[in-house]
Amino acid sequence: MTFDPSTLTYNDAGLIPAIAQDATSGEVLMMAWMNAEAVAKTLETGRVTYWSRSRQSFWIKGESSGHVQELVDFRVDCDRDCLLVTVNQTGAACHTNRRTCFYTAVRQGDEVELMKPME
């Protein structure tokens, strides 16, 4: 069966959350948004493409930073309203220059920073 991005369930803004996971380690790297065209571009090019809500434009991960996400696998959840993109990540995934965006833990009511920015 051929995949059609229009069969996904997008929110009222036409967006769907996409979780990026490292293909080797399984580490969750980040969450960003895609629209139907970003989904199609990602699948066509193998370079993960998101929709930037702040800039209202496409955002090809690593285009300016060099921290590229090469698509390994593309999955749709059971409700068709969330995506999992498994990637080969070059450099940091987070705009703070950390490997992952999920570097802050909440432990016993306190925030704990688990990693420093990459060098």
CA 98 – CA 103 distance, rounded (Å): 8
What's 5's DSSP letter?
A: G
By the 8 A CB rule, do 31 and 19 touch? Answer: yes
Query: Annotated binding residue at 77?
Result: yes
CA 97 – CA 57 distance, rounded (Å): 22
Query: Annotated binding residue at 79?
Result: yes
Q: Is 7 helix (H, G, I), strand (E, B) or coil?
A: helix
Pairing relationship of beta strands 28-34 and 16-22 according to DSSP bridges: antiparallel
Query: Annotated binding residue at 82?
Result: no
Annotated binding site for Zn(2+): 78, 94, 101
Annotated binding site: 77-79, 81, 94, 101
Annotated binding site for Mg(2+): 77, 79, 81
